[in-house]
């Protein structure tokens, strides 16, 4: 005991820590609780002296929110799926690692690597594995190749030649003449631009970025241009109204005969629509009869840059799965998340369990061997009970971490927290809190934080209660 005369000295020594704790830990917690119970709390207005109604309005609002319920569902689902799987896997790996001598250190390092790697970076790698590297705008385009044909049976492929984020070119050969097609991505179809490089034999066109449309152009017989867009809603035509001449279109000897473009759907053997064939009548430079010239915008199934997972599935004769792209299914999204989170959670758990395993006295195993215990019984009756304190620790921290899941979703889906076209589909509690904060919705954010706290608290209590019975210390 410090003698009371000197207690003030002790307090002085403690003061820096106490002050820091009070300012950065205690006050934020108190403030969170306060804001959670004040309706529509706004810090600026609060500073200006405004008062707010006290009550549980924020909590009601949270539970009334569809988005909030989605978050709750996602969070709980991910927790319930990933914690048991990762714990069981970590246990098996740790036991396996512990029972081998050669390469043990090496494999241990390998398994530990994810732990020291940034989870956003890993997430991006996983996203690439389940899909195609790059952002989702480009993803769609690369699934299409553009064919040009002067006769239906003599196809000439337009190949992708350049690309950056918003703009890329295709090059193709028709009748020994190279044609280029530039596509640019734009948010709005009404603002589609024709890229202004008309020199030589160059087709120009634009492409709409937002979902799934490609835009091509043609020149109308009156000299204006016609843009043809293939969209999910079907073929759409737009007249650009531009007056400048397009040398690229000098495919016809007579510009007044410039093409009007028609589109036919292209079907595969199963009758599914896999693209569009655009065609127009064209008179060859050398003269002669006009021929029908085709461009086919077609889905290509053998693209090297799809993710390794789908590559493998197809290699073994399966059907490609839309894991994380636009209009992918919830189950597929969750599957990817579970794989990623489990993988990410393994190293820490393996490390802890390996430590636990190595501290188990080897004589228990010798004794078990002499008693004729089978391997499975050794695992279930000896290893697991003796490891139970570590297992309990790993499970409890796993649940706590699982309820705070956020970065892993960002890693895979980006901060839209969902596949393209469906933002927020995989939003989690922590993500919801961030978003509410970003939307200046302090009350809602605080209330959600308290709800999250309550859930974690209850789950941890249950865990501790269960482990009291099952854990041997």
Partner 1 sequence: MKVVLQNVTKIFPSRNKKSNEEVVAVNNFDFTIPDGKLVGLLGPSGCGKSTTLYMICGLQKLSSGKIFFGDDDVTDLSPENRGVGLVFQNYALYPHMTVKQNIMFPLQNLTGKDKLTKEEMLERTQEAAKLVQIDELLDRKPSELSGGQQQRVAIARALVKMPRILLLDEPLSNLDARLRLQTREEIRRIQRETKITTIFVTHDQEEAMSISDVIVVMKLGVVQQIGAPQDVYDSPRNLFVAKFLGTPPINVFEGQIKGGKVMIGDEVVVTASDVPDQKLYIGIRPEGFIVDPNGPLTCNLQSVEVMGRDSSVVSTNDASLNPTIRSIIDSDIKVAPGSKTVNFRIKPNKIFLFNKETEERIFCEVK
Interface residues with partner 1 (CB under 8 A) are 361, 363-364, 366-374, 377, 381-382, 385-386, 388, 472
207-208 and 214-219 as β-strands: parallel, antiparallel, unpaired?
A: unpaired
Backbone region of residue 449 per phi and psi (left: phi > 0; alpha: psi in -120 to 50; beta: other values): alpha
Backbone region of residue 239 per phi and psi (left: phi > 0; alpha: psi in -120 to 50; beta: other values): beta
* Closer Cβ to partner 1, 181 or 392, answer by number: 392
- Closest contact distance (angstroms) between CB of 391 and partner 1 is 12
- Closest contact distance (angstroms) between CB of 383 and partner 1 is 11
DSSP class of 38: B
- Closest contact distance (angstroms) between CB of 372 and partner 1 is 3
DSSP class of 54: B
Which tokens is 176 given?
């020994």
- Closest contact distance (angstroms) between CB of 381 and partner 1 is 7
Run of H or E residues at 312: helix 308-315
* Distance, CA of 325 to CA of 192 (rounded, Å): 24
- Closest contact distance (angstroms) between CB of 299 and partner 1 is 58
Q: What is the number of other CB atoms lying within 10 angstroms of the CB of residue 14?
A: 11
* Closer Cβ to partner 1, 252 or 467, answer by number: 467
* Closer Cβ to partner 1, 191 or 376, answer by number: 376
Closest CA to 170 of 204, 125, 121: 204
* Closer Cβ to partner 1, 173 or 358, answer by number: 358
Q: Provide the 3-class DSSP secondary structure of residue 114.
A: helix
The residues that bridge with 149 in the sheet, in sequence order, are: 155, 294
* Closer Cβ to partner 1, 161 or 380, answer by number: 380
- Closest contact distance (angstroms) between CB of 374 and partner 1 is 7
Distances (CA, A) of 263 to 119, 230, 260, 275: 46, 9, 10, 10
Which tokens is 446 given?
């605080």
* CA-based torsion, 10, 12, 13, 19: positive or negative: positive
* Closer Cβ to partner 1, 195 or 386, answer by number: 386
* Distance, CA of 96 to CA of 109 (rounded, Å): 14
* Closer Cβ to partner 1, 66 or 361, answer by number: 361
Asked if 337 contacts 347 with a C-beta cutoff of 8 angstroms, the reply is: no
* Closer Cβ to partner 1, 79 or 390, answer by number: 390
* Closer Cβ to partner 1, 237 or 364, answer by number: 364
Q: What is the number of other CB atoms lying within 10 angstroms of the CB of residue 122?
A: 19
Closest CA to 183 of 142, 241, 135: 142
- Closest contact distance (angstroms) between CB of 348 and partner 1 is 25
Distances (CA, A) of 78 to 279, 288, 342, 408: 50, 67, 10, 11
* Closer Cβ to partner 1, 106 or 473, answer by number: 473
* Distance, CA of 50 to CA of 44 (rounded, Å): 9
Closest CA to 65 of 413, 409, 451: 451
- Closest contact distance (angstroms) between CB of 59 and partner 1 is 43
- Closest contact distance (angstroms) between CB of 380 and partner 1 is 12
Closest CA to 292 of 308, 304, 278: 278
- Closest contact distance (angstroms) between CB of 69 and partner 1 is 42
* Closer Cβ to partner 1, 369 or 468, answer by number: 369
Q: Nearest-5° angle of CA 433, CA 442, CA 429?
A: 15
DSSP class of 211: T
- Closest contact distance (angstroms) between CB of 441 and partner 1 is 50
């Amino acid at each position: 005991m410090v003698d009371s005369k000197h207690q003030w000295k002790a307090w002085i020594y403690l003061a820096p820590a106490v002050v820091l704790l009070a300012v950065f830990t205690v006050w934020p917690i108190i403030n969170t609780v306060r804001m959670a119970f004040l309706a529509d709390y706004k810090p600026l207005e609060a500073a200006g002296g405004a008062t707010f109604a006290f009550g549980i309005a924020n909590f009601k609002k949270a539970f009334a929110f569809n988005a909030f319920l989605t978050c709750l569902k996602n969070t709980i689902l991910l927790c319930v799926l990933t914690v048991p799987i990762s714990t069981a896997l970590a246990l098996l790996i740790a036991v396996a690692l512990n029972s081998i001598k050669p390469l043990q250190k090496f494999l241990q390092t390998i398994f530990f690597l994810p732990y020291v790697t940034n989870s956003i970076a890993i997430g991006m790698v996983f996203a690439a594995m389940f899909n195609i590297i790059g952002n989702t705008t480009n993803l769609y385009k690369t699934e299409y190749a553009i064919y040009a044909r002067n006769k239906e049976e003599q196809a000439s492929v337009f190949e992708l030649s350049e690309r950056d984020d918003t703009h890329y070119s295709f090059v193709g050969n028709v009748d020994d003449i190279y044609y280029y097609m530039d596509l640019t991505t734009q948010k709005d179809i009404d603002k589609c631009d024709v890229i202004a490089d008309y020199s030589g034999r160059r087709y120009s066109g634009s492409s709409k970025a937002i979902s799934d449309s490609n835009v091509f152009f043609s020149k109308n017989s009156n000299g204006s241009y016609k843009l043809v867009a293939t969209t999910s809603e079907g073929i759409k035509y737009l007249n650009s109204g531009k007056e400048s001449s397009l040398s690229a279109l000098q495919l016809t000897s007579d510009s007044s005969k410039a093409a009007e473009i028609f589109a036919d759907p292209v079907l595969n053997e199963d009758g599914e629509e896999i693209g569009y064939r655009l065609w127009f009548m064209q008179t060859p430079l050398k003269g002669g009869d006009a021929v029908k010239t085709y461009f086919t915008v077609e889905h290509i199934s053998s693209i090297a840059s799809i993710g390794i997972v789908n590559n493998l599935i197809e290699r073994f004769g399966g059907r490609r799965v839309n894991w994380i792209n636009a209009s992918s299914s919830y189950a597929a999204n969750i599957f990817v998340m579970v794989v990623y989170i489990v993988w990410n959670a393994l190293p820490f758990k393996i490390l802890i369990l390996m430590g636990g395993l190595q501290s188990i006295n080897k004589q228990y195993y010798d004794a078990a061997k002499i008693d004729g215990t089978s391997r499975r019984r050794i695992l279930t009756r000896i290893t697991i009970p003796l490891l139970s304190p570590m297992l309990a620790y790993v499970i409890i921290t796993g649940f706590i971490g699982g309820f705070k899941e956020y970065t892993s979703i960002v890693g895979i889906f980006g901060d839209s927290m969902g596949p393209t076209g469906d933002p927020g589909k995989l939003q989690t509690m922590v993500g919801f809190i961030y978003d509410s904060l970003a939307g200046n919705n302090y009350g809602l954010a605080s209330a959600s934080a308290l709800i999250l706290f309550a859930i974690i608290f209850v789950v941890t209590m249950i865990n501790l209660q269960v482990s009291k019975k099952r854990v041997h210390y």
